[in-house]
Structure 1
Amino acid sequence: MATPRYTLDTTLPTGHSNSVVALQFSPDGKFLASGSGDGVLMVFSTSTWKPIKRYVDASPITAVIWHPTFPKTLICGYRSGDVHTVNFESHLLIDDCNKVWTDKVGGPVHCIASDGTGTKVALSYGSDVAVMEQYAISVWTNARNLPEPPSLPGLDEELPAPVACSLHFVEDGKLLVASYLGHGIMRATFCWDIDLMELRWQITPRTCNIASSALSPDEKIIIVANLYDGLDWYKIPDHSFSRSIPLRINHNVPIPVLLVDGGKILLVGGTSGNMKVLDADTAETIQTLDHGHAKSDFQISLNDTD
C-alpha cells in the first residue's frame, strides 16, 4: 500500500454563496478557476492563493474549462444555456473580466471538452452533444450535433433521451468519447467519429448508470463512476470490462473522477465532504482526504512529491 501523498496546503474563501460545481487549474498551473451555483466565476493566483478576478452572471454555472491554447481564457457553461468565453488580461484585483463573448445553446450545459489544440470544442447540453471549431477566441464555426446514441437491446424507445455527462477527445481530436447518464435506465460509453458523425464503438456498462468518467493519458482505459455501487474500469482497445471496486454511492449525486500524475493516481469525489486517492492500476486506496462540510470555502491539497 502506498503512503499518503497529499497534505492540506490552504483553505480558500471562495466568495461564492452557493455550491462550487467546477474547479479547474489553468494549463500553465498559474491560476485556479472556480464556478458555482450562484453564477460567480472566481480566478485565483496559485502563487499567492489570492483572488484576482471575479465575474458574475445571473444563471448558475454548470461547467468550466480553460482553453488549452488561448492564454488566460475560460469557457463557461450555464444552466440557462449560455456559453461564455471569458478572457482576462490585467492582474487587477477583483474586477470584471476584460472580454466576454456569449453564445447560446438549446438547453442547460452539462459539460465541456476541448481537444489538445483548442481547435475543436464539444458541448453537452440538454440531451444533445455539439462539436464545433474555434479558430479565433471569439468565433465558433461549423457546429454540428452528434446523432442520438442508439438504445440498448430491450429498452423502451419512448424513454427520455440520455444526457452526456463526460466528454473526451481521443486520437488527436478525430474521435469523441461520450459517457451518457440515462434516466433510470442503462446507458453506455460511445465513441463517435467527428468527421463522419458516425458511431465508431461503444462500451456497455456492467451496472445501470454512468455518472462520470476519466480517460487514461494513453487512451487505453476509461474509469467510470456509476450511480449504483462504485467504480468500473473498462479497456478501450477491446471495449471490455476490466474490474470494479465498491464505493458508497448517493444515487442523487454523480461523483467526479479524475486521473492525475500521468494517469497513475485516481481522485474520486464524495458526497460527505471527503475525497479518495486511489492507485489507478491496482485500485487500492492510498489516502482519504477529509474536507469536512465547509460551505463557504474550499481546500487545496498538494502532492508532497511534486
Structure 2
Amino acid sequence: MANTAYVDLHVLHNGHCLTVNCVAFSSDGQYLASGSDDRCLLIWNVKDGALLYRLHFKSAVDSVIWHPVHPETVVVGCEDGSIHQMRGFSIDGHEKFDVRLGVKGPVHFLQYNADVSCLAAAVGPEVHVTKEQDKDTYTGGLKLASPPPLAAAASTSRDDVEQRDTRLRVTGIHFSRKGRVIIASYVAHGIIAYDLVKREQLWHIAPTEDAPMIASSALSPDCKQLMAYHLQKGLRCYAVATYFAKPSRCKYEFDEPQTSRLSLQMSFLHGGKAVVCGTTTGKVCIWDIETGELYQKLPHDSESADTAQQAHQTGAFSYIATGSSGTGQHTYIKIWRARNSKLRLGTVSCVVG
C-alpha cells in the first residue's frame, strides 16, 4: 500500500473548544458526529466539512453512536450519566428521548445491536443492557456481572505497583454473535465475554505481566478478532470465538514511545484487514493485520494527542476521523479519505462492494 493512500480531506476548526472525546460516522458516511468536554455535540457534513448543527448539554459529551435502524438518529452519553436518543435535526430544534437505566455515572461507551434491538452502555465501572421495545422507548435492563477480583501482581517492582491502575474501569464494549454475546474490556481486569441469554461468562482473558492494562479495544466486522491497546505497550490481536479466545502471534507496535497514559481509540479498516489507532504525539498509525507492519502514519497539524478516532467505509471510499485534545484553536477534528479501489494490503485488494 502506498504511503499516500490516505489524503487530507478536511480539518474542522471553529467547532469544539475543549478536548474531543468521541467521533462517529453515520452509516451512509454523509455525516460525522463529535462530542467534547465543552458540553457540545456537533453534526458535520463529511463531503464539504460544513458544521450543520450544534447541540448543548449539561455536562461533557463522552460517547456518541448513530442508531443503525432509525435514520439520522444519534444516541449520546454524557458525563453526568444521562443518555439521550435524538433525531429530527433542523433550525427549529430536534426531538430528544431519554434512555433511563436507573444508574448514575459517566457514560464512557455506547453500542447498539439491531438484531436484538438492544443498547449497551458502559456507565462508570458497570455495563448495562436495555432493550428498545418501541421506537425511542427503552424498557427493562440487565447489568453484567463484574469481572473476578484481580490476582496478586506478578511484578514486585515498586514502580510497576505504583503505576498499576487497579480500579474497575470499562475500556470497551462490543456485541457479537448477532447480539447474543457482549465482549467487555477492562483497564486492569482483562477481557470478558458474556452470554446475554444464559447470563453467564463464556471466557476471560486475564491480564499478563507484559500486557497488564487495556486502554481501549475494537472488534472486527466479522466478530472474529478483538484488538486491544495495552497501555504504552502497543496493540495486540486476539482470536475470539464463542467459548474461547487466544492472543495471536502478531503484535502491533508504535515506532516511537507513547508519552502518556491516555486511552487511544482504535478501529478496524478495510473489512478487518487493517487497524488504525491514534497516538499521544498527534500522529495516526495504520497497521496490516496479517503482518503487523506499520505501513502508514498520518500527521496532525499539532502534537496534541488523538483522543477520539473512528474509521468508516462506504461505496468507493474509506474515511478516518480523529479528534484532538487541547483548548481553543488547538482543538480540531481531521478527516482523511482514500479510494478503496486503490488500496492494497500485501497482495490482497481491499475493494469494498
Contact 1:14–1:42 under 8 Å retained in 2:
no
Shift of the alpha carbon at 1:49?
1.9
Q: Secondary structure at the match of 1:166?
A: strand
**CA deviation string 1:10-51 (max 9, x = no partner):** 211242111111110001111110111111101012233212
Shift of the alpha carbon at 1:275?
0.4
Aligned pair 1:8/2:4, yes or no? no
Structure 1 Cα separation of the partners of residues 14 and 62 of structure 2: 16
RMSD of aligned residue pairs (Cα, Å) = 2.1
Contact 1:67–1:118 under 8 Å retained in 2:
no
Shift of the alpha carbon at 1:129?
0.6
Q: 1:3 to 1:118 in 2, by over 3 A?
A: farther
Aligned pair 1:240/2:246, yes or no? yes
Aligned pair 1:302/2:337, yes or no? yes
The 5 A counterparts of 1:1-306 are 3-90=3-90, 92=91, 96=93, 98-104=94-100, 105-117=103-115, 119-154=117-152, 161-182=167-188, 187-206=189-208, 207-237=211-241, 238-242=244-248, 243-247=250-254, 248-293=257-302, 295-305=330-340
Q: Secondary structure at the match of 2:330?
A: coil
Match of 1:147, as an amino acid? A
**CA deviation string 1:71-90 (max 9, x = no partner):** 11111111111111111244
Structure 2 Cα separation of the partners of residues 305 and 280 of structure 1: 17
Structure 2 Cα separation of the partners of residues 143 and 230 of structure 1: 35
Shift of the alpha carbon at 1:203?
1.6
Shift of the alpha carbon at 1:244?
2.1
Structure 1 Cα separation of the partners of residues 68 and 179 of structure 2: 13
Structure 2 Cα separation of the partners of residues 276 and 88 of structure 1: 36
Match of 2:147, as an amino acid? P
Shift of the alpha carbon at 1:118?
6.8
Structure 2 Cα separation of the partners of residues 129 and 120 of structure 1: 13
Match of 2:224, as an amino acid? K
Structure 2 Cα separation of the partners of residues 2 and 192 of structure 1: 40
Structure 2 Cα separation of the partners of residues 284 and 246 of structure 1: 9
Shift of the alpha carbon at 1:152?
4.2
Q: Secondary structure at the match of 1:88?
A: strand
Match of 2:253, as an amino acid? P
Shift of the alpha carbon at 1:162?
1.3
Match of 1:100, as an amino acid? K
Contact 2:99–2:137 under 8 Å retained in 1:
no
Q: Note the residue ranges of structure 2 that are not aligned, 5 or more in a row.
A: 154-164, 303-328, 342-353
Match of 1:194, as an amino acid? L
Q: Note the residue ranges of structure 1 that are not aligned, 5 or more in a row.
A: none
Structure 2 Cα separation of the partners of residues 136 and 281 of structure 1: 42
Q: Give the TM-score normalised by the residue count of structure 1.
A: 0.90
Moved more, 98-107 or 259-268: 98-107
**CA deviation string 1:158-215 (max 9, x = no partner):** x965111111100000000000113xxxx21100011222101112244110111111
Structure 1 Cα separation of the partners of residues 135 and 116 of structure 2: 10
Structure 2 Cα separation of the partners of residues 109 and 47 of structure 1: 30
Match of 1:283, as an amino acid? G
Q: Give the TM-score normalised by the residue count of structure 2.
A: 0.78
Match of 2:73, as an amino acid? T
Q: 1:60 to 1:288 in 2, by over 3 A?
A: same
Contact 2:53–2:89 under 8 Å retained in 1:
no
Structure 2 Cα separation of the partners of residues 160 and 137 of structure 1: 39
Whose relative contact order is higher, 1 or 2, with alpha carbons under 8 Å and at least 6 apart? 2
**CA deviation string 1:234-271 (max 9, x = no partner):** 11134212132333334420111110211112111111
Structure 1 Cα separation of the partners of residues 229 and 166 of structure 2: 21
Q: 1:271 to 1:41 in 2, by over 3 A?
A: same
Shift of the alpha carbon at 1:228?
3.7
Q: 1:81 to 1:241 in 2, by over 3 A?
A: same
**CA deviation string 1:269-289 (max 9, x = no partner):** 111211001112211112111
Structure 2 Cα separation of the partners of residues 3 and 16 of structure 1: 30
Structure 1 Cα separation of the partners of residues 19 and 33 of structure 2: 14
Q: 1:118 to 1:198 in 2, by over 3 A?
A: closer
Q: Percent of aligned positions with the same letter in both sequences?
A: 29
Q: 1:160 to 1:275 in 2, by over 3 A?
A: closer
